[in-house]
Amino acid sequence: MSFSAGSQQAAITRPGELPVDNGAVNQALLTRHAESEFSVRGLTNGDPDVEVALTEAGRAQARLLGEHLAATEIDLCAVSEFQRAQETADLALARRDVPLLVLPELNDIRFGEFEGRLLADYRAWARAHGPEDEVPGGENRTESVVRYVAGFRALLKRPERTILVVAHSLPIRYVLNAAVGGLPKPAMEQVPYAEPFPLTAAELTEAVERLETWSLAPAWSS
């Protein structure tokens, strides 16, 4: 998938292609992608090979995100493999020279047999099943948490100070809830489109550790 954000935009990179040290991160700006052609219709997309673009409203949201971040120094942008996340970052960072890092660990959950179906159907299934129950052909919620923990731990090892993360509602909601002491629930509240939620490195570390502990003995929070 191509990803270009104007003449000044850095080329996309993948883990191992940017230097890593013991971690100098000061702040992470956790941001859900803008409105997509599937999300506006309430459909699922957990397969990054299925290209789903932003809506016109979504593109406007992404540009507005860029305006809100114009005065914020951003040293790195981490995105998932999905078109909707990359297009959001592309528009938000147009004409800015920000290195881009693709982290598959931040991909949306794999919906299996619910792929391309109504999100409401998946959420109904999720409420009726435990965190280790797997959707046929998909991924269970515990597996997704383990994957997200790995992704955010990788970011915390980065040498950059301020990282914009453009990903999906589920990993961001898990982390935001964990940052204030919450744990995963059968159905999580959706994160608003294209709105950055800042966390310090200490807050992100605490959230990740809480999620990792939960994943060792997963049970739904009441």
Average of pLDDT values for 176-181?
98
Confidence of residue 221 (pLDDT cuts 50, 70, 90): confident
Give me the residue label for tokens 């999720």. 126
Average of pLDDT values for 65-71?
98
In the chain the domains, ranked by start, together with CATH numbers, are 12-216 (3.40.50.1240)
- C-alpha to C-alpha distance for 72 and 27, rounded to whole angstroms: 11
Is pTM beyond 0.85? Reply is yes
- pLDDT digit string (tens) for 127-175? 999 999 999 999 999 999 999 999 999 999 999 999 999 999 999 999 9
Confidence of residue 17 (pLDDT cuts 50, 70, 90): low
Give me the residue label for tokens 């299925």. 50
Work out the percent of the chain whose per-residue pLDDT is above 70: 90
- C-alpha to C-alpha distance for 158 and 25, rounded to whole angstroms: 6
Nearest to 76, CA basis, from 13, 126, 131: 13
